[in-house]
Amino acid sequence: MMWSMQLCLLLGFINVTTGIRLVNGSSCSGRVEVLHNGTWGTVCDDGWDLTDAAVVCREIGCGDVIEAKSYAYFGQGSGQIWLDNVNCTGTESSLKNCRAHEWGKHNCGHHEDAGVICNSEFPDEIRLMNGTDSCSGRVEVLYNGAWGTVCDDGWDLTDGSVVCREMGCGDVIEAKSTASFGQGSGTIWMDDVKCAGNESTLKSCSSNGWGIHNCSHQKDAGVICQLTVRLVNGDNSCSGRVELLRDGQWKTVCDDGWDQSDAIVVCRELGCGSVVGPSRAYFGQESGIVWMNTVQCTGTESTLKSCISHEITSCSSNKGAGVICQRESQNCKQVNSSLSCSGRVEVRHNGIWGTVCDDGWNLTDAAVVCREMGCGDVIEAKSAAYFGQGSGPVWMKNVRCNGTESTLKNCVLSGRFQQNCSHEKDAGVICRPKVRLQNGFNSCSGRVEVLHNGAWGTVCDDGWGLTDASVVCREIGCGDAIEARKGAFFGNGSGPIWMNNVNCYGNEQTLKRCRSSGWDVQNCSHYKDAGVICQYSYTFINDSKSWIDALGYCRTHYQTLAHILNATAQKYITQMLQDKAITDGVWIGLERSMLFSCSPWLWTSGPYVEYAPWHQEFPKDPASMFCGKLLKEEQNGFGWTDACCHERLPFICQVSFSSWFNEISFLIACSLVFFEFLSVKESASV
C-alpha cells in the first residue's frame, strides 16, 4: 500500500497538502500547476530557472531538481495562468511563497507553461527534521498524504540503521529517543517498530500498525547517521578539504571544475549555512584515494552525491577541493570574557539562549567544544559560574563526552530541555590559541603567526591590509586594529609561511576563515611577514605632570606608564612622537630605588630593565634622579635618560589587558559559532 495518497487527474499528481501538482509527466516530473481560489492554473516560464524548480521538487517531496523546463515542454495547459516572473531564493518551502507578479497577472500564453523534472521517480516518504545536518534529526514518515512521527518504544540502532540507509546516509551513529530533536506535531504514525536491519525502507519493518500507539510527542524517535561528506584539515567542522564516502572509503574530491555552486551544496548538506568561498588545495592534498570524478552541481541539490558527476582518468590539478562555510546565525556563544575562545558556554534552544550546568563538566567535554569551534586544545573546563552567572533557562546538564566526538551534539546528556540546576553552576571553557602575536611591544601587537598542522608559521604581507588586521585583533580580544604592518616590522619569523594574499571581508571570526592563496606559501620570504597593532598599545598624553602624577593618571585611565621592552616598541614610540612638539622629554615607566645611588632601573610593575637604548647624556645625576624619560637625540631619535621625578612633562600611557588577562595573554580566541544542535526549527523547514 502506498504511504502517500495521490489523486491522478489529467495524468497529473497532486500534493494534497500544498495545492501544487505536476501534469502530463510522472509523480516527479511534469507541467507545474498551482491551486488558487479553488481553480488550478499554470505557471509562465518567464524567468523560470533551476532555483524556482528546486522549490517545486522539494514541496512535492521529490528530492533535488534535474531540469527546469519551459516552452510547454509537457504540453500546453488550459484555463488560468496564475503565476508569472517567479523569482525564488531557493529556501522557500512552497512555490506560493516565492516572489512573483500578482495572481493572474501575466503577459504569457500557454505555449510558455513551465515544467520541472526532479530526480526521484517516487515522492520521499521519510524525512529527518530539526537535525544539524541532512543526516540527523527527528524521524518523520509520510502516510495518507500527512507527515507524522515515530514513537521511541523499542527504538534502537537496528531501526536507526534502516532509516540511515533509506536516507542515503552512512552508518547509524545513534538512535535517539525522548524527543531529542524536539517534539513533532500531528499524528504519531508508528510505534513499537521492529526492524531486522536488512529492510530498504522503514515502512517495511513491523510495527503496531499505522496510527496505533500509546505515546505522546515527548517520545518522538530520532537518529544520527554518518554523513557521506566530510571536511578535513580545517580549523572547525565547517571548513576543510572535501571528502566523499564511496564504496566504504573516504575519498578526496578532485578540484577540477570545483566552484561556488558545488561548495554551496556541501555547506547546506553539513548544516553549515552559507559558503564563504570554494578553495583549491587550500587545506592540503590527501595522499590517499582521490575520487576520480568531476562534480557539476547547480547549487540547489541537498547533497553532494545528488550532483551530476563525470568520471575522469586523472585529476589534472592533483589537488583536493575545499570549502569554507559560515553559519548565517549564531546559536551558541561564549560570554563574559575579553577572549572569544573563553567564557560561559551558552546554547540556543527554541530561539532562547540558555546555559550549561557544570554537573559532570570536565576537560573531555570542554575539549569537544574547543575542537568543534576551531579553537586549539582545551586549557581549562571552568565551573561554578567562573565567567559570571547567566540568565534564563539552563538547557543542558550532565554532559558526558568520550572525547572523540566532532560536535557537542554527539555527546550523551541527561536531556535537552530545561534542567534543575541554578546559574551558580554555569559551565565555561578556556581553549588554546590558533593565532598569536610575536615580538610585539605588548600582547596586542606583533608579528602574526598561525598554527597549522601542529606548527606555527607566519603570514605573508601581500595584500595585507587593515581589514585583515581587524580580524586578528578581534580574534585575540584586542579590540579594533590601529595599523596593519608590513615588511617584517616586528622582525623576521622562521619556519613555514602559512598564508599569503589574505583577503578578509572583515566579519570573519578567525583569520583562518579568510580567503587566501592556501597553506605553505612558496613565493614569499620572511622579510615580508605581516604584523598588527591593535588598540591596546601606547597613548601620548600632552599634559605636563610630575612622574608620580603621570603614573597615577595612567593607572586610573589606562594601565600604567609605558614599558619599552624591545627595539620594536622603541621604534613604534619614536614614530608616534615625530610630529609632537617635545623639548624637555616625555615620561615613561622607568624608575629606580631612592635608597641607593647605584640601584638598578626597573619598570613600574617591578621587572628589571634589559633592553635599554640610553641617551648619550645618560646618566645625568645618579645621586638625585630616580625617574626615567625619553629625550630627543639627533636625527629625530629618542634615548632614555634619568630625570628629576618632580619635573613636569608630557607622558606616554600603556594600554593593555587587565592583570588577569596578562597572566593568560598567551590565549587567543577563536570565536565560538557553535553548530546549532539544540535549535528546534519550524516543521516546514527541511
Q: What is the pLDDT of residues 139-191, one digit of tens each?
A: 999 888 788 999 999 999 999 999 988 887 878 888 998 888 888 988 999 99
Q: What is the pLDDT of residues 552-610, one digit of tens each?
A: 999 888 888 988 877 767 877 888 888 888 889 999 999 988 776 677 888 886 667 87
Worst-scoring range by mean pLDDT, 17-26, 482-491, 521-530, 668-677? 668-677
Worst-scoring range by mean pLDDT, 147-161, 484-498, 643-657? 643-657
Q: Which pLDDT belongs to residue 529?
A: 96
Both 637 and 557 in one domain: the answer is yes
Q: Is the pLDDT of residue 418 over 80?
A: no
User: Using the 8-state DSSP alphabet, how is residue 160 labeled?
Assistant: H
Domain with 274 in it: 229-325
| 341 within a domain of the structure (yes/no) | yes
CB contact at 8 A, 350 and 680: yes
Q: Which pLDDT belongs to residue 106?
A: 92
| 207 within a domain of the structure (yes/no) | yes
Q: Which pLDDT belongs to residue 241?
A: 83
| 216 within a domain of the structure (yes/no) | yes
CB contact at 8 A, 41 and 80: yes
| Local confidence band at 44 (pLDDT 50, 70, 90 cut-offs) | very high
Q: Which helix (H) or strand (E) holds 663?
A: helix 659-663
Q: Which pLDDT belongs to residue 662?
A: 35
64: domain CATH number? 3.10.250.10
Both 607 and 642 in one domain: the answer is yes
Both 362 and 302 in one domain: the answer is no
323 contact partners, CB below 8 Å, separation of at least 6: 231, 239, 240, 242, 263, 266, 267, 275, 277, 278, 279
| Local confidence band at 27 (pLDDT 50, 70, 90 cut-offs) | low
Q: What is the pLDDT of residues 308-353, one digit of tens each?
A: 777 676 776 557 788 887 654 444 555 555 455 677 787 766 557 7
For cell 592563496, what's the residue? 517
What number is the average pLDDT over the span 67-84? Answer: 87
Please, what's the largest Cα pairwise distance for the chain?
108
| 352 within a domain of the structure (yes/no) | yes
Both 544 and 635 in one domain: the answer is yes
Q: Is the pLDDT of residue 70 over 90?
A: no
Both 493 and 551 in one domain: the answer is no
Instruction: Write down which residue in 282, 301, 325 finishes a domain.
Output: 325
Tell me which residue of 440, 451, 513, 424 sits closest to 478, measured CA to CA.
440
Q: What is the pLDDT of residues 522-532, one digit of tens each?
A: 689 999 999 99
Both 494 and 544 in one domain: the answer is no
Q: What is the pLDDT of residues 95-149, one digit of tens each?
A: 988 999 888 899 999 999 999 888 654 456 888 888 777 788 899 998 887 889 9
Q: Sign of torsion, CA 478 483 488 491?
A: negative
Both 649 and 584 in one domain: the answer is yes
| 682 within a domain of the structure (yes/no) | no
Both 218 and 237 in one domain: the answer is no
Cell of 496: 613555514
| Local confidence band at 293 (pLDDT 50, 70, 90 cut-offs) | low
Both 582 and 647 in one domain: the answer is yes
Per-residue CA distances from 625 to 354, 609, 643 (Å): 58, 17, 5
| 483 within a domain of the structure (yes/no) | yes
Both 649 and 547 in one domain: the answer is yes
Instruction: Write down which residue in 173, 195, 225 finishes a domain.
Output: 225
Residue that wins the pLDDT comparison between 669 and 247 = 247
| 676 within a domain of the structure (yes/no) | no
Cell of 598: 647605584
Q: Sign of torsion, CA 584 622 624 604?
A: positive
Both 70 and 148 in one domain: the answer is no
| 291 within a domain of the structure (yes/no) | yes
Count of structural domains, the chain? 6
Tell me which residue of 649, 530, 512, 635 sits closest to 583, measured CA to CA.
649
Q: How many Cα atoms occupy the beta-carbon half-sphere of 501 within 13 Å?
A: 10
Tell me which residue of 538, 630, 637 sits closest to 588, measured CA to CA.
630
Both 347 and 310 in one domain: the answer is no
Instruction: Write down which residue in 86, 118, 150 finishes a domain.
Output: 118
For the chain, give the mean pLDDT: 79
Tell me which residue of 603, 674, 69, 631 sits closest to 371, measured CA to CA.
674
Tell me if residue 265 falls in helix, strand or coil.
helix
